[in-house]
Every structure is written in C-alpha cells, then in structure tokens.
Structure 1
C-alpha cells in the first residue's frame, strides 16, 4: 500500500516537472508573437519623424532652387526689356527726324530745278540781245548755273548716303557721309551729315567714333537743328562705353538745354531707368 502511494507520488511529480518544462518552452514563443515594446515603438516613431524631416528639407531646397531660377529669369526679362526699350528709343528718334529731314530735302529738291530753269533762261535772253550789247551780260548767268549744279550734286550724294542708312547698310552710309563732308564742307547739309555719320557708327557699336562725330557737330554747329539729338546720342554712346557719370551728365544737359524737344523726353526716360537700376 505504502509502496503504491509512493509510486503514484513520484509519477505526479514527474508530470509536474514535464508541465513546468513545457511552460518554459512556450513562454519565449509567446513573447516573440506579442506586440512591440515601448522602446521599439518610440524608436520607430523617431525614425518616421526623421524621414519626414528629411523630406521637408529636400522640399525646401527644391523651393529655394525654384526661387533662384525665377529671380534669374526675371533679371533676364528686365534686361531684354531694357534692350527693347533702347531699340525703340533709337527708332523713335530716327523716324521722328526722318519725317522732318524728308520734308526739308523735298523743299531743297524742288528749289534746285527752279534755279536751273532760271539759269537756262538767262543764256536764251542774252542770245536774243542786240549785237552791240556789253559782253559782260552774256557771262553773268554762268555762276548761278554752276552753283545750282554743285548743290544738286551735293544733294544727290547726301541722299545716296541717307538711303544706305535707311536700308541698314551702315558701312556704305558712313562712307557716303564721310565723303560728303570732305567734298562739301560748307554745304547746308554738312551738320546733318555729321549727325548721321555718328548714327551709322552708333548702329555698328563703334561708340568711340560716334562720339567724335557727335562732338564735332556740337562744337562746330551748336545752332544746328540736330544739336539736341546729337547730344542725346552722345550720352547714349558714353553709357555704352561704361562712362556712366559722363553719360548721365550729358543726358541731363539735353533736358536742361532742349526741354521741349523729343530728345529731352527720351533723355528723361533713360535717366529714370538708370535711377531704378541703381536702387
């Protein structure tokens, strides 16, 4: 009896040990399948936040790059607008003067044939005079006829150079105006020839030579009707040569000396843009 009880007790004890071993084996498996620990969750949240911060930094960098590109493009647009305005100013000044020049040339062209006709009539009148008339009477009309021919030749030379200028052939126009000035230094169109000579050089960016032509006009023909425009283009040329202070002073002199001229309006506009660009 006692032996049986002892044997049963040992059997139960063995079963209890087996159960305990089984529990010890199952516990780690259960721990592996359980939710993450608090420290793991915190680490994951920190990693997610770090990733978000990196994304924000990348987006900020991209935004700054876009802003920089926009600023560069805006600067290029402003520079193009400035160049377009320069071209508009040049064309406006040239075409404004062109209208007045064509009017003057038409008047001079109509006057020249009249002089020629008068000269042609004089010899006919002398031919019909009596044979005992004074010899001087037949030689007097020769001088007006020669003067009319010279004026006609000068006008043709000037018109040829001006035609080249309007066609955009600035090399031919500058050559033509130089030859005109050399051949007809005392002609009424010589001051204008100096102005258009300067314009021909200005159009081809030969600013130093243009300055010399404009200055010669202003020094030798200060009362010319081209003085205002020559002063304006002198200022433009100085600005193109990076002589900013001299150019500004010249443009200011246009406004003060010729306040009611179109050149003064263009000078004021250029001065306004220069003032804005330095702010």
Structure 2
C-alpha cells in the first residue's frame, strides 16, 4: 500500500510544478493582453526577417560574382589583343631579318665577284706587262653617272662601272668622287678598298697603298680589313719589299686565321 501512495504524491507534485511554470495571463487586464500581442508580433517578425536577409546577401554575392566574371572577360580580351599584336611584330621581324640576310648575301656575292674580276685583270696586266714591257692601255669610256645622286645611288653607280660596264678607268674617278661627296658614308671603307684595288691593277702602288691603309687604320671593324691587309702585303711584294710583305701576310693569318684572306696569305708566303 505504500507504493501507490508515493506514486500518487509524485504525480501530484509534478503536475503542480508544471502548472506553476506556465504563464498565467489575465485576459481582463489590458496591459497584459497588449504585452502578449506584442511578444507574438515580434516573434512573427523575426521569423519573416531571416529569409529576406539571406536573399539580400545572395543577391549581393551574385552581383559581385557577375562583376568578377565580366572583369576577367575584359582582361582576357586585352590579353588576346596583345598576343595578336606580338604575333604581328614577330612576323614583321622575321620578314625583315630574311630581307636583311638576302641583302648581306648579295653583298658577299658582289665582293667575291669583284675580287675574282680584279684578280683576273691583275694577272692579265702582269702577264702583258712582262711580255711587252709596258702597261696596256684600257680604252676610256665616258662614265654615265648622273649628278645629284643619293649616297647609295652614287656607290652603286661606281660599282656598276666595274661589274656591268667593265670600265675600270672611269671607275677610279667615280669612287674618288663618291669619297669626296660622302666621306662619312656607310660604304666609305668599301669605296677605299675598291679604289685601292683599281689602283693596284693599274700598278699605282703608292695610290693603292694609301687606300688600303685607310681601310686598315680607320675601319677596324670593316669586313674588308683582312682583304686590305692582304693587298698591302701584295703591294709590298710587288715593289720587292719582301720583309714587309711577309710581316703583313703573317698579320692576316694571326688576326683572321679562319678567313679566305688568311688562306690566300699562306699561298703568298709560299711564293716569297
């Protein structure tokens, strides 16, 4: 009989405690009624405000993401434009390099052709001089070099007197005029060299020496410097100054060991 009594007492106590925890509102009291409605309204507003705040944040994030994507697209377009310009510049550089290489190749061919012609002319002049005892005369042809030419035109006209017209006599004053009119030309070293070659073929040793020395002393980076030293040695050899000729041939070999003038200098040394 003790257990039922305890159970009933516990249930009664629990119910009384729960009843004490529940709020008691007097519906007849206006203040309590208003407070209750306000609390309910605030709770309702809190529930409604949260979704609105989340939607606002999502909208802001979407706008930021859209702006970021648009900025990346603009940057990519700029990069594409720059890459296109770089490709065009590379193409232009390659084209110019190719054209420059063609010009240099033509210049090298021109030098070789002139050297070959001068060498043949020198051999003919020497052989004829030895057989007749006098230097053969070359018929003079009036040069067709118009006045008022540019630097490149004047140089090419003088060269054409050798290559096309084979008018070696008139090529001498043509190169002399070029050097007088364009003393600071980019072709000055070449003009001195070819003028020296022409005078060498005429056996004007002093004049040839002066022109070759001008190339050697005034144009240390000229592509014709090695040839000029070689020709100075040949001038000295022609006037029987063999010691100086040997020194000049050895200078070519020492300073330009892998060049064509070095090979020719070796052949000249063997003939001394």
Q: What TM-score does the superposition give when structure 2 sets the normalisation length?
A: 0.45
The structure that is helix-richer by fraction is: 1
* The structure with more radius of gyration: 2
